[in-house]
Chain A
Amino acid sequence: MILERAFPVSSILLAAIGFLGLVLTGEIPGGLILLGLASLVVSAAQAMEFAGERLARQIANLSSATWNVFLIAVFVFFGADLLLISRDILPAAVHFLILLMSIKLFHLRQRKDFLQLYAISFLELLAAAALTVDLWYAGVFIAYVFAAIWTLILYHLRNEAEEARAAVQAGKELHDPSPIPRPVTAQFFWATNGIAVVSFCLTMAIFFLIPRIGAGFFQKNRVDLIRTSGFSEKVDLGVIGAVKLDPTVVMRVELPDQKAPIPEGLYFRGAAYDTYDGRSWANRLAARRLLGRTPDGGFLVPSELTLAVPESAVMRQEILIEALDTTVLFGASFVESVKGNFVVVQMDGMRGLFVPFPTSARFQYGVRSIPSRLLEADRVAPSFTYPAIIREHYLQLPDTSPRVAAFARDVTSGASTPYGRARAIEQHLRRSYQYSLDVGTTVSADPVDDFLFTRKTGYCEHYATAMVVLLRTLGIPARLVTGFLPGVWNDFGNYYTIRQQDAHAWVEVYFPRSGWVTFDPTPSVPAAVPSWVWWNIGKIVDSIRLRWDRYVVQYSFRDQMAVAKSLRDRSEKVRSEVSDFVSTVTRGLASARAWLVELAHAGGWALAIGLAAGTLVIGMVLAVLLRGHGRRQQQLDPRTPRQVAAIQLYTRMLRILEIRGLPKSPGATPLEFARQVAREWRDAAPFVRPLTDLYYQVRFGQTSLSSDETQKVHDLLARLRAVRR
């Protein structure tokens, strides 16, 4: 492609990318999208000399007066849009930009026209930045960087050539300057793209280094809040069921101290409820108080207990939460402190955390939690005397049928302690009742009675409500809690993706010495086995999205300080290690020298020199031998490609098991490890044993996997990955 053609094409492409940025925000009316597209297509046809060029030329050859009339019309439209249609500066400005772009695309004659088109496309990208924070913006931005580099270089070269030609014609220059290579050669193509890549890397480096001293607390973006259920002051029984099929992501949780998912017992607590009227739960302790600040800028949640907790027991979380319609702050049970870009944080009487208003954009905060722990004294105590406030709030019961109390006594007949009774009810509900979201639409007069004795199916709310009611009939204080299960662990980003469908209800039981302890009577549900490829692609995309949010959209001064501190710590560590190494070597050399001198003084000069020379020779021989050994190892690897493939599949299985908390010890044979898995995680045994057998068959049996067997291995791995532990 020649330079004269490449230049307008790249200019139009730049405009198209700016326009695409605006279109993807979803804020542009269809008419304007069509107008923008039409002007881009006609302009591109003119530049590429395709069909339609004649039409484009006819449009472009309109008189200046006509174009001025168009411009005035656009300004008038902008005024009308601002005052009457959009009634907001940003949408009106965006519409105005698209109209201006369309006019400019038809009227690209002089140098200033191109400059104005570039300015318009940049403003479009700027407007898109104000309208969205979605991941697609990253793609548009990267494309824009490349197009901008191309366009600016071509613009410059074209101007230089034109100026030189004009100077020669005017007699200012004697010679026609050395011509610019007219065709865009492969070398030019790759060099320009290389410049674009370097520019992009530089952009990212500068982006992370620019000090964040802005005043914006949250992104002032226009996003639709995600509707949630189950976190208001009063919750009707069954509301969580409505969202259990909604895959919308509500938050992503990173555990900085964990590289693998936590096997069980992780609940992201939202709101708690003490009062049940037979149909709905309510919070009578909803009065909120402000939390005090910690020295590092966080907010401290006052502890109910005076027990000292070791730092190793603390679980840190970085939570990136979407714009929800609730003011609840979620965190793993039980939150000790919360830190984020908040002005205030409030807490109700049941340790629910709140911000004053729902936030208009996704935001990030950090949480420190201390998991509940049952003390031995509470485990074995036959009975408790509860404080009056606990009795008043957490033993309340609606009118229930007598058979509920009888049922509770019946289920717990074998237990002699409150803890034993709670555990017995939990286990009974888990084992004897069927989990189902299909509970019908008829409203029962007594949902708990209906669940326990009639339907015997339900979902988390039914289980949790039933357990609280059963415990309360036995005089054990309990409350219902709503929040989220950890969702899906993303191996690519080491975080949990939590969706609406992970909304959950569970139970907290009060023990005088241990405080509130979590119980979950809902049985775990086997997850559906999705397509392995799509499942992983989804995870990768989600991981990229998290990184985009975490490191670009939510990047803050706090992150910059953390990076600076980490760099300082690392440099200090490296410095101290180098210093230790140098001093060790120096000491070693000094002592060797002293020994040799001593030896020499004792009359053994020849011996000393011989020792030194011998050491040198041995060192050289060892180096040569080690090098040769390494090469031989590489050359003499006896494994066939099929065996290597079998090892890779087996390694994949080991990795899955390791993530689930079952690492293979180096000393265990594959068979021993398969037996260990069968003992410790019975659900995985049906997949691990066949996989191990196939591994043995290929690795040591000198046979290869048939296509059916290969397919079987992949299926087994997929099913193993889907089993929850």
Chain B
Amino acid sequence: MRFERIREFFRWFYRYRSLRLTPEGVRFLLLTLAVGVAALNTGNNLLYLLLAMMLSLIVMSGILSEQCLRHLVIRRRIPEHVFANSPALIALSLTNRKPRLPSFSLRVLDVVEGKSVDRGVHVLHLPAGASVIQSYPILFPRRGRHRIEGLKVQTRFPFGLFIKAAHVPLSSDLVVYPELRPLPEGFLHDLAVLGHDQAVSRRGQGVGLYNLREYLPGDDSRMIHWKTSARQARLMVRETETEDLRQVTLALPTVIPADGQRFFEQAVSLTASLAAYFQEQGFTMSLLVGEQEILHGVGEEHLYHMMHVLALCAPTPAEGGASSAPEGFGMLGERTMRGEITLVVLPWPDPSIQRLARGVSRVFHVWERP
């Protein structure tokens, strides 16, 4: 108990600094010990002099390495949107705020879950008052909330005998979105067909072609379709199809059996990938994840909002092999309007959801996919 307390005390005392010997340092200490024994044994003061020199080198190591680590200002910049299993570039800026003294041999490590992770950030020389920016890729294998607890700045300066580390309490919290996986070709074809089947043609603002007609005064000259105009020898304008009605609802039930975690993660990833696909296609999207619903919206902000929900959604254990379907899922079939796509991503063959999803556009059975 007492030993634990002492250990705790030392941990507290050295919470901002730590010291480790390098292989050269171990040899140096052994040699110092040998010289010390020789000096004690012989009483030869010149051996004491050499011993003092070696001890002074150790002390100087401590002083100079401390000087290297002092007055360093470090900032970390993390990208706003990070996806699982997709490398994100983190930028670190180091500034030496010392008025005269440079810093040498700096290595910067991330501290994650109490462990130091070397990202390969190495600054050999940072002059007084200078700054340097270095970036490194980082890969999060899992979606969800992540925390980088701090930074550790190490130096072996001046003699390479010790590795001194300064702990910088620079914590960063980030939400990692689900992994985006490429959708298979066949799958994309299905979605295209589905979109075509459900399409409601109406003139309006959009990208898709709706009709070609003769030019009328007051029409936007930018809309003139020159090829057709040349072919028919009269000015023809291009009318676009409105995108207002290109709507999709993605539904992901979160109730899963005890062994369904893997398929649930695949379902989350598929939902996120579908969302990214439809965003690219310009669809208006809504999302239903368990009890949580995000109403129709469009644009990048809306997509990242959906990704955030998907990143943080957690499965709920099913009781007795079936789930009581969430309230939102009960109205799925009824509320699907004409021209709207409703997709349900099922992580496991949940009979209650399957029953409710009869009226929807498509149900994806994740467990059936490789």
Contact = CB atoms under 8 A, between A and B. Distances in A.
Contacts of B137: 174
Interface in B7-57: 24, 27, 31, 35, 38-53, 55-57
A575 B57 CA distance: 36
B47 A126 contact: yes
Interface residues of A, number: 57
Given A153-B158, A159-B160, A212 B43 contact: yes
Nearest to A213: B40
Contact of B44 (A125, A200, A216): A216
Nearest to A151: B159
A156 B53 contact: no
B172 to A, nearest CB: 19
B60 A195 contact: yes
A145 B60 CA distance: 12
A137 B121 CA distance: 45
A153 B65 CA distance: 12
A214 B35 contact: no
A710 to B, nearest CB: 45
A123 B327 CA distance: 84
Contacts of A164: 122, 124
A212 B124 CA distance: 42
B105 interface: yes
Contacts of B27: 115
B156 interface: yes
Interface string A94-127: 0000000000000000000001000100100110
A129 B47 contact: yes
Centre residue among B39, B44, B134 by max chain A CB count within 10 A: B44
A203 B159 CA distance: 16
A156 B40 contact: no
Contacts of B123: 177-178
A214 B134 contact: no
B42 A216 contact: yes
A122 B31 contact: yes
Given A167-B120, A179-B125, A553 B46 contact: yes
B192 interface: no
Contact of A195 (B44, B50, B64): B64
Interface string B51-82: 11101110110001000000000000000000
A173 B92 CA distance: 14
B122 A195 contact: no
A133 B46 contact: yes
A220 B44 contact: yes
A179 B124 CA distance: 6
B323 interface: no
Centre residue among A137, A155, A157, A217 by max chain B CB count within 10 A: A157
B31 A219 contact: no
A27 B64 CA distance: 39
Nearest to A122: B31
B51 A210 contact: yes
Interface residues of B, number: 45
A122 B31 CA distance: 10
A632 interface: no
B83 interface: no
B108 to A, nearest CB: 11
Contact of B53 (A115, A145, A213): A145
A722 B59 CA distance: 50
Contacts of A129: 44, 46-47, 49-50
Contact of B59 (A155, A174, A202): A202
Given A122-B31, A126-B47, A174-B135, A220 B42 contact: yes
A73 interface: no
A160 interface: yes
Contact of A178 (B47, B60, B125): B125
Nearest to A341: B43
Contact of A207 (B48, B122, B160): B48
B292 to A, nearest CB: 39
Given A152-B57, A199-B60, A137 B125 contact: no
Nearest to A218: B43
A130 B44 contact: yes
A52 B138 CA distance: 52
Contacts of B177: none
A214 B42 contact: yes
B160 A155 contact: yes
Centre residue among A157, A180, A203 by max chain B CB count within 10 A: A203
Contacts of B46: 129-130, 132-133, 137, 141, 552-553
Interface in B330-355: none
Interface in A154-174: 155-157, 159-161, 164, 167, 172-174
A175 interface: yes
A166 B327 CA distance: 60
B159 A206 contact: no
Interface string B100-140: 00001100000000000000111111100000101111000
Contacts of A528: none
B329 interface: no
B264 interface: no
Contact of B124 (A160, A172, A203, A207): A160
Contacts of A119: 31
A153 B48 CA distance: 24
Contacts of A692: none
A567 interface: no
Contacts of B45: 207, 219, 552-555
Contacts of B283: none
Given A152-B159, A153-B159, A214-B40, A174 B136 contact: yes
Contacts of A555: 45, 48
B44 A172 contact: no
A204 interface: yes
Contacts of A133: 46
A134 B203 CA distance: 106
A1 to B, nearest CB: 17
Given A177-B124, A178-B123, A216-B43, A203 B52 contact: yes
Contact of A141 (B49, B64, B134, B160): B49
Nearest to A209: B52
Contacts of B157: 156
A148 interface: yes
A204 B52 contact: yes
Centre residue among B47, B56, B121, B126 by max chain A CB count within 10 A: B56
Contacts of A159: 160
A178 B124 contact: yes
Contacts of A213: 40
Nearest to B159: A152
A4 to B, nearest CB: 14
A183 to B, nearest CB: 12
A84 to B, nearest CB: 27
A78 to B, nearest CB: 20
Contact of B104 (A149, A157, A204, A215): A157
B124 A210 contact: no
Contacts of A217: 43
Contacts of B57: 148-149, 152, 199
B364 to A, nearest CB: 39
A35 interface: no
11 contacts: A152-B158, A160-B105, A175-B134, A177-B134, A178-B124, A179-B124, A202-B56, A206-B56, A207-B48, A213-B40, A216-B43
Interface of A: 115, 119, 122, 125-126, 129-130, 132-133, 137, 141, 144-145, 148-149, 152-153, 155-157, 159-161, 164, 167, 172-175, 177-181, 195, 198-200, 202-204, 206-207, 210, 212-217, 219-221, 552-555
Closest 6 CB pairs of A and B: A216-B43, A214-B43, A129-B46, A173-B120, A207-B52, A202-B56
Given A152-B160, A217-B43, 9 more contacts: A122-B50, A130-B47, A155-B160, A156-B159, A173-B122, A178-B123, A216-B42, A216-B43, A552-B49
Interface of B: 24, 27, 31, 35, 38-53, 55-57, 59-60, 64, 104-105, 120-126, 132, 134-137, 156-160
